[in-house]
Amino acid sequence: MAANSNPTVRKRHLGAELRRLRLASGLKSAEAAERLMVSQPKISHLENGRRTISPRDVRDLCAIYGVTDQQLIDSLMRMARESAQPGWWNVYGNIPQGVYIGLETDAATLHAYEPLVIPALLQTPAYAEALIGETVPLLTVEQAATRLKVRMRRQHRIYDPARPLRLWVVLDEPALRRVVGSPAIMSEQLEHLHALASEPHITVQVLPYTAGAHPGLGGQFSILRFADSPEAVVYLERFTSDLYLEKPPDVQHYSMMYHHLQAQALSPDSSRDFITDAARSCIDAVSRP
């Protein structure tokens, strides 16, 4: 675990191990917080990998949980030191979605439902630039440029020859019809989407208007799964405060929703044809006088 280059994932592994040790000790999180003289939410954040934990806190928690294996304690403290190291995204400063980017970087599979826009991993630079500029008010030129660089850097994950991300996307038709930037930019984006949808590790399905009501009408969500862990994370992107759901009933609920969306959507082949038709409509709009 310690060799993993992703600090977000290291924090998650460390948190999961601390949770296991707490449960083995028979303590509730509130009791552990009281003995450590911290708030109960801090214990929850540490166990969920949302907060960096110091080696001293690891040592103290191990003492509270009755852990006597010094080799295990040393290993956990080493993980705590390594989890404080910055990820690649930290060089860009305080950017939004830092926790999510860490999870996305390490995920083995990603199932995403997007009702309104093309997912970030599949965006062209021109589409992404227009989307950032038109949806995030009051950004400076420098801030917008930084967000664009980070978004493009995230796409390295789907081109990684050693372990390409298995990406499955269900797109609602409005994501294809909404012209972002200009018809020319949108046409380029749809052609790019069609090309990526032909890659063996990327699947794109379209939910046409004719599908009617469906489980995704509540909004965007993604499900991330990891090669070295049975746990999954549901990610709900929000404008100011994103949500991460990890409880098995929540993951099961969203997984079932996704299965329904896949069943209601067009097949991958029919979806590529649909994307081609949408791109042709944009080309026609560009050619009109």
- pLDDT tens for the chain, residues 1 to 289: 333 445 566 777 788 888 889 999 999 988 988 988 888 888 887 887 777 788 888 999 999 999 988 988 888 888 888 776 667 777 787 778 888 888 898 889 999 999 999 999 999 999 999 999 998 888 899 999 999 999 999 999 898 888 889 999 999 999 999 999 999 999 999 999 999 999 999 999 999 999 999 999 999 999 999 886 777 899 998 776 788 888 889 999 999 999 999 999 999 999 999 999 999 988 777 676 6
User: Residue 205 pairs with which residues in a beta bridge?
Assistant: 170
Whole-number pLDDT of residue 162: 81
Residue 1 lies in a domain: no
Residue 109 lies in a domain: yes
Q: What angle do CA 79, 6, 88 make, to 5 degrees?
A: 130
209 and 131 inside one domain: yes
* End residue of a domain, out of 48, 68, 85: 85
27 and 133 inside one domain: no
Sheet hosting strand 109-114, strand order edge to edge: 202-207, 166-172, 109-114, 221-226, 229-236, 243-245
Q: What angle do CA 101, 103, 108 make, to 5 degrees?
A: 120
22 and 42 inside one domain: yes
* End residue of a domain, out of 53, 85, 117: 85
Whole-number pLDDT of residue 9: 67
244 and 160 inside one domain: yes
Whole-number pLDDT of residue 39: 86
Any long-range contacts for 11-14 (C-beta under 8 Å, 24+ apart)? 11/49, 11/50, 11/51, 11/52, 11/53, 11/83, 12/48, 12/49, 12/103, 12/229, 13/49, 13/79, 13/229, 14/49, 14/53, 14/58, 14/76, 14/79, 14/80, 14/83
- How many domains does one find in the chain? 2
Residue 266 sits in which domain range?
94-287
Residue 162 lies in a domain: yes
Residue 121 lies in a domain: yes
62 and 106 inside one domain: no
For 122, the enclosing helix (H) or strand (E) is none
Whole-number pLDDT of residue 8: 66
139 and 222 inside one domain: yes
CB 25 within 8 A of CB 118: no
156 and 251 inside one domain: yes
Whole-number pLDDT of residue 4: 40
Whole-number pLDDT of residue 94: 76
203 and 228 inside one domain: yes
